[in-house]
């Protein structure tokens, strides 16, 4: 049961708070566009088979702007579906605190899963076995950011 809670019950309101803090809540009628991504970070790892087993990688954005997350490879098999989450790192740097807003089940694709505006900071991407892996899952996530 704890593994299933880990799969869908991630703590991580910190990222949502960071995204909300980046919003313009003032009375001004002007709008600003998020800074387009200028850096690409490739994150790779392996998830051991078993419901709720996971692996996470962190990345740092130097400035506020857009973050685009794409799961470009996962398998075997190459069509396997995995849980994917985006979050921020814990203050001690040991845990990926996933946002409940940015969790989904996906297969590998070049199309970004999320394109979000966020402040500069240390973020993380987590890949989770949702229970359909018979062997370790190797994955690659591409993150385009400022």
List average pLDDT for each run of 10 residues in the chain, which is 146 residues long.
40 37 41 75 98 97 96 98 97 94 97 96 97 97 95
Query: pLDDT at position 32, please?
Result: 56
Report d(CA 120, CA 53) in Å as an integer: 29
Instruction: Give 25-52 pLDDT, tens digit per residue.
Output: 344 444 556 677 889 999 999 999 999 9
CA-closest candidate to residue 144, choices 79, 84, 61, 77: 61
Report the first-to-last Cα separation within the chain, whole angstroms. 38
All structural domains of the chain with their residue ranges = 2-25+34-145
Walk across the sheet containing 82-89 and list its strands: 54-61, 121-128, 82-89, 96-106
Task: Tell me the CA distances in angstroms from 129 to 15, 34, 82, 83, 133, one per residue in order.
Answer: 22, 32, 5, 6, 7
Q: 2-25+34-145 in CATH: which number?
A: 2.60.120.380
Report d(CA 53, CA 23) in Å as an integer: 34
Query: pLDDT at position 16, please?
Result: 39
């Amino acid at each position: 049961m704890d593994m299933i809670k880990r799969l869908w019950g991630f703590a991580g309101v910190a990222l949502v708070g960071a995204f909300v803090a980046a919003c313009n809540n003032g009375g001004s009628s002007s709008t600003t566009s998020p800074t387009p991504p200028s850096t690409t970070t490739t994150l790779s790892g392996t998830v051991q088979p078993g419901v709720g087993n996971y692996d996470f990688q962190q990345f740092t954005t130097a400035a506020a702007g857009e973050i685009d997350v794409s799961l470009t490879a996962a398998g075997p098999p190459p069509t396997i579906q995995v849980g994917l989450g985006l979050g921020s790192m814990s203050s001690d740097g040991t845990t990926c605190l996933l946002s409940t807003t940015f969790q989904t089940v996906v297969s590998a694709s070049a199309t970004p899963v999320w394109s979000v505006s966020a402040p500069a900071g240390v973020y993380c991407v987590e890949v989770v076995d949702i229970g359909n892996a018979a062997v370790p899952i190797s994955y690659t996530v591409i993150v385009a950011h400022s």
